[in-house]
Amino acid sequence: MASSTGWTGPTTTGHTAAGNAWGRGGSQSTACALAFTRTPGFQTPSEFLENPSQSSRLTAPFRKHVKPKKQHEIRRLGELVKKLSDLTGCTQVVDVGSGQGHLSRFMSLGLGLMVKSIEGDQRLVERAQRLDQQLLQALAKVEKRNPRVVQRGRFSPQHVVKWVDPKVLCEELLLPLESTRHSGTRLLLTGLHACGDLSVALLRHFCCCPEVVALASVGCCYMKLSAPGGYPLSQWVAGLPGYELPYRLREGACHALEEYAERLQKARPDLRTHCYRAALETVIRHACPELQRPGVQGIPRVHELKIEEYVQQGLQRVGIDPQLPLNLAALQAHQAQENRVIAFFSLALLMAPLVETLILLDRLLYLQEQGFHAELLPIFSPELSPRNMVLVATKMPLGQAFSALETEDS
């Protein structure tokens, strides 16, 4: 493929079906009803009934070093990618933002797919390669004990250290593996919780590159989307009055609604975190006004700390002197507002599904406006994995096969 320093996108046409749906009513109840269902077509995962930390639908070698949430995610997305690859005749899967390679390993060594893994962090790639070798050794021991489970033609994923810039074409992403070089390249792009604009980059490569014939993307970190550029993508959403989504709304759409509802029902003491974090923010803004939206690494057992202890630890995590003089009376006044802070946060969180729906609908329409076939499917249990919608797209019609992608394998 010819080299390029930027994007040359295909022309787009309007999409009216979604416009008709959104035009059916302007009331708040209609807006809430328009949030995509987050309930998958399968029952609550039975894979953890016997052991809450080990999926019964993954063999032991594939569970090692993998937390239950990730076990559920790699199995469900991996099986969907395998079905989609078979339906579209793909020769190679490209896992973008692959991290430690858990999904890539399952797709290649578990499902027999040819996989290239692209990750920008050298340390994560090196760990992924070590885990590949450990898994191969573990599988070899299993096969030695039971020769009937030998799988022929098993290939490890090929790991590449590469930072994918959402604004430019990534040549490495499109290069075929050596073993598929002579068979005609047909790529399937996937990303498991590809952060912010990285999910947008997958969509753009799918749209602009003829060798990419299928896409299965699960996004996250909507607050990191660039504007303009990452949102809106579709002409339809860009034409809506008030389509803008400020940082606070996009950040709220990343919270775990189901898990938070359970915390409210049980009145868990860790709800205090919201009040403490709000108080910390006021201190940060007073001490360092130029510090915008600092990320505060998780502080353990917040509910056991005094508010001033939490603030001191939080200041240290954002690079501010933790011995900064504190107004204890002001902090205690903040703490007295704890229930109001929780109520405010809860009301804001009610908007989260609708905001996520608008972002995902924008991506769906972006693909459909260009004549591609796309669906949004709830693939993970939201209790285990809150960002559970996968955007599936192809350049050939799949008809009813789309709905079969989300079903559980026997």
pLDDT, one tens digit per residue, over 311-361 is 999 999 988 998 999 999 999 999 999 999 999 988 888 888 889 999 999
Would you report the helix, strand and coil content of the chain in percent, each value rounded to 5?
A: 45, 10, 40
List, in sequence order, every residue forming a beta bridge with 214; answer none if it has no partner: 188, 394
List, in sequence order, every residue forming a beta bridge with 95; answer none if it has no partner: 117, 190
Residue 5 clears pLDDT 50, i.e. is over it:
no
- Give the separation between CA 252 and CA 260, rounded to whole angstroms: 12
Q: What is the mean pLDDT of the chain?
A: 85
pTM of the predicted model, to two decimals? 0.82
Fill in the DSSP letter of residue 384: T
* More confident of the two residues 345 and 45: 345
The band of 182, judged by pLDDT with boundaries at 50, 70 and 90, is: low
Return the structure tokens found at 88.
Answer: 């579209």
Is residue 383 within 8 Å of residue 45, measured between CB atoms?
no
Q: For residue 89, give every residue at least 6 positions away whose Cβ sits within 8 Å of its Cβ, in sequence order, or none.
A: 186, 213
Give, in degrees to the nearest 5, the angle at Cα 37 between 217 and 191: 10
Mean predicted confidence (pLDDT) in 23-33: 45
Residue 8 clears pLDDT 50, i.e. is over it:
no
The band of 17, judged by pLDDT with boundaries at 50, 70 and 90, is: very low
User: 337 burial class (0-12, 13-18, 19+ CB within 10 angstroms)?
Assistant: middle
- Give the separation between CA 219 and CA 380, rounded to whole angstroms: 13
Mean predicted confidence (pLDDT) in 200-205: 95
The band of 9, judged by pLDDT with boundaries at 50, 70 and 90, is: very low
**Least confident interval from 22-31, 113-122, 190-199, 354-363:** 22-31
| H or E element, residue 213 | strand 212-220
Is residue 155 within 8 Å of residue 179, measured between CB atoms?
yes
* More confident of the two residues 8 and 34: 34
Report CA-CA distances (Å) from 18 to 15, 196, 236.
7, 24, 9
Is residue 366 within 8 Å of residue 230, measured between CB atoms?
no
Please count the other Cβ atoms lying within 10 Å of the Cβ belonging to residue 410. 3
